Structure 1
């Protein structure tokens, strides 16, 4: 996933120059100041506790390779984590003359360091003044030029006064070999740092802190299976939202079990959608490497970008589920698709002045929610069941009662165990005669209750837990698709970015995908990254829907067929790779000339 870094200038101090810019600080060699800069480091655990690293305390250091201490043993061992908070304390601060680096803190298997230095930067009156330079460095000692890692961070100067909040600024940046650090030349004026009344210096020491959240890196070795237990799908081009949707269906475990049990023994390997989906699910479950989808798209008949652009994710999902439902008929898994995804709603028209009404019960596999002008998912559901008044020239024909004023609307009769919600980010604009993407902020939640939208109060509450968030970055002309999934429904999220799978925080999966403006940014940016589809699972059905899928759930015939396919493919691949080592030689004997 590509990102364009945008300078971020959080203004928290009236003394900060309005034209100040963040920058990359190029440092060939980093050493401590000649007058001995004493540093100590500590690492905040997930519960807010602090552990001192006594090895570093009161020792002279520069860019030590010693990792920062961590309170939580599990977090300390997990260098592939998506976020961390670490601190760096500089003693004898007034004598700081050169750049100094903290020991590394590992996030996404990359070393992150705090870089601090004295700088000369323009003051508000355009005069040069001494300032505190504060930067975050990533993978600074790597000799590779192919790596990159997108991250957001909050850079903080900690106050020694308990009642004073830290002074902080935020950055977001695509770190790579030529721009491996990012921050502020003028984080704060030197005089303000030294002002004892402000509380940032005590005993000639200051403490800097960074909270960094990073995406999985690109261009470096990243073992998705090792770090998460899951593998991704290859980006084979022209498939848009398909990889995200396939991962979502794969982690609907009850559906996966049923897919394995579909009879495909006599199916054509090249044309069967059912067999192709079985193959993808099987490889996602047992492979250690990213899985290909070419056979699936070929069986579907959608092999070009136009095929996917002409159909949205809702259409693709409906076609796929229809094919699966048809394939399951007459088998032991018949009815699985409607049992999982089918809900019911009642459309009605009710006259205001006479006792006449009309109702019709309809089934649905998904719900389209209008988000334009709506703040959150609750407002969208209220809008969905809001009534329309039929009056004037639009009165309802009530038969013998003639034309009558009436109310028209829908109310839900039941919600399914797995609820697919399509957020209407893309809508037709009659002015431009084209599809337009709405990037407005729209909030959704980890847990929701939908009782208020049901015709009758259900026997078991309509409580739902968020299972997947499908996200699009870009505009209506294109972009990138990822999905965040809560595989076990326990709030431990993973991000699936094609072939890269990584653990992520709940905030990354949910709040970061609301869209709209980020008020924390000084340069307000309208985000084009936001959710377009949500998957919720009913709490009362959570264990059933997410039941474990084991080898025993896969028919032996299917396992053997897929294993044989794999064996033949391996042989053919070897033959292709070794073809250049051989040549055909025709030998002509003398007898041939007789």
Structure 2
């Protein structure tokens, strides 16, 4: 199956055409995420391996409808992809049409629906592991020195953005910095049997093939929620080990840290409404594309950098990077 998938991509390297998605009832958020998921060839390959013949076609199964729409987006027809069935499927799973949604919330929900609704548990786990960031959190009570350790995982890293100017590298470093939690942020200490000031540190246990990061551009204020359009730079390629010195657990066993950007989810507008678009680099293609619902065009890396923020209408909200690996170097190459 995988070799046939490569052959298909290789034959189309010079005539690759992304397909637009019509906006149905405020579906720009879902349209944007579908473009990024279509560019995640690893996810498409896993869904193609799923034998969904026995799944009841009741329009409630999100992974089944996702498999269909991602396949349709790779067809040869040069028209917009019909994806109403996928939208209606989300609607039946409580993500209502005609309602503004947060892109990160919808993205995580789609991944969770695949865990809940796929009958092939091994493949569902493979999809989860594709995005899974394992972290170890240690809480030390500052009154009794009791230490609590918790291991958990995230499907996307939520990175705090400073209010003036920042960089992805700075956001990751801040995520891994030790923090003192006091006042409202105090944590329950089992030994003291009450909430006490604590020191928290986070260590990485493993990094995924697909690293999705949300730039947290929203802040609570006395007047409600406000959006930060400050400048946040991000590279096309970076080495995680250079950014996270001291941020890895002693049990961290990976030896590949290099990540390459392939998708940027962009939000234009404010807290009460707005519009989502995406910049994507499909498969192994070196060419960037800009997808705005039905409209798709080729763009330069400099155009993608316009989403850093502050002086442009749309700002980067989610970043998706693919890890390079000698052992997993199965990604096909395009001449672009």
Category of TM-score, reference length = shorter chain: 0.7 to 0.9
Give matches, 1:545-584, under 5 Å: 546=331
Matched, 1:464 2:259: yes
Is 1:515 matched with 2:309?
A: yes
Note if contact 2:111-2:128 (Cα within 8 Å) is conserved in structure 1: no
CA contact (8 A) 1:386 1:409 kept: yes
**CA distance in structure 1 between the partners assigned to 2:57 and 2:321 by the alignment:** 35
Shift of residue 395, structure 1, vs aligned partner: 8.6
**Equivalence for 1:455:** 249
- The 3-state SS of whatever aligns with 2:226 is strand
SS at match of 2:28: coil
Please state if 1:412 is matched with 2:171: no
Could you tell me which residue of structure 2 aligns to residue 292 of structure 1?
82
Partner of 1:535: 320
| Cα offsets for 1:435-456 (capped at 9, x unmatched) | 3221111111111222223224
Q: Structure 1 CA distance, aligned partners of 2:168 and 2:183?
A: 32
| Distance in 1 between residues matched to 2:196 and 2:272, nearest whole Å | 46
Match of 1:440 in 2: 230
How many residue pairs match? The answer is 309
- Looking at structure 1, the residues matched to 187 and 59 of structure 2 have their Cα atoms a distance apart, in angstroms, of 55
| Shift in CA distance, 504/271, structure 1 to aligned 2, threshold 3 Å | same
Deviation at 1:266, TM superposition (A): 4.3
Q: Paired residue for 2:97, among 300, 304, 324?
A: 304
Deviations 1:149-179 (A, max 9, x none): xxxxxxxxxxxxxxxxxxxxxxxxxxxxxxx
Matched-pair contact (CA < 8 Å) for 2:115–2:121: no
Any conservation in 1 of the 2:21–2:294 contact (CA below 8 Å)? Answer: yes
RMSD: 3.1
Alignment-derived partner of residue 380 in structure 1: 171
* Counterparts of 2:187 and 2:105, CA distance in 1: 34
Contact kept? 2:284, 2:332, Cα under 8 Å: no
- What TM-score does the superposition give when structure 1 sets the normalisation length? 0.47
Cα displacement (A) at 1:285: 0.8
Do residues 362 (structure 1) and 157 (structure 2) align?
Answer: no
Which residue does 2:213 correspond to in 1?
421
Give the drift of 1:348: 0.7
1:280 corresponding residue in structure 2: 69
Paired position in structure 2 for 1:475: 270
Residues 333 and 480 (structure 1), Cα distance of their counterparts in 2 relative to 1, 3 Å cut: same
1:165-204 matched pairs, under 5 angstroms? none
* Greater C-alpha radius of gyration: 1
1:255 and 2:43 are equivalent in the alignment: yes
Unaligned runs of 5+ in 1: 1-224, 518-526, 549-594
The equivalent residue for 1:210 is none
SS of equivalent to 2:171: helix
1:463-505 deviation per Cα after TM superposition (whole angstroms, max 9, x unaligned): 1111101112222233332111122345321111212222111
Q: Counting helix residues as a fraction of each chain, which structure ranks higher?
A: 2
Deviation track 1:539-577 (CA, whole Å, cap 9, x = no partner) reads 1179657459xxxxxxxxxxxxxxxxxxxxxxxxxxxxx
Name the CA distance, whole Å, in 1 between partners of 2:120 and 2:70.
22
